[in-house]
Copies of this chain bind each other. A is one copy, B any other.
Amino acid sequence: MTGLSITSDLVRGHTETIILAQLMEKDSYGYEINKSIQMKTNGQYELKEATLYSAFRRLEAAKMIESYWGDETTGARRRYYRITKMGKLLYEKNKEDWEETKRLIDSLI
């Protein structure tokens, strides 16, 4: 998959919120989250693996998410993530900030 039209510079700062949004729906794991993002954006956007996994590290260190190994009997192992109560609060806060940011930037450009 090539030719992603949105430069990640503009999405920078939203990576964590995007991940949290996915985990608000259900527990999930890196690979699935990224596929889901690609699907939801019709291939316009994807997280680079290093970006995705380093975001997981930050979010887990900050207790916004928790991880556990899936019990796959077949296929590659999966590390599942679950959003915590704090994570849900952060998600709501970030969503509000996004609405504010949209207004702000719209007023400036």
Contact = CB atoms under 8 A, between A and B. Distances in A.
Given A6-B97, A7-B97, A98-B105, 18 more contacts: A5-B100, A7-B13, A9-B13, A10-B13, A10-B14, A10-B97, A13-B13, A14-B108, A17-B109, A18-B108, A18-B109, A21-B109, A37-B108, A40-B108, A41-B108, A45-B108, A94-B109, A98-B109
A6 B13 CA distance: 12
A13 B11 CA distance: 8
A14 B100 contact: no
A9 B16 CA distance: 12
A95 interface: yes
A77 interface: no
Interface of A: 5-7, 9-14, 17-18, 21, 37, 40-41, 44-45, 94-95, 97-98, 100-102, 104-105, 107-109
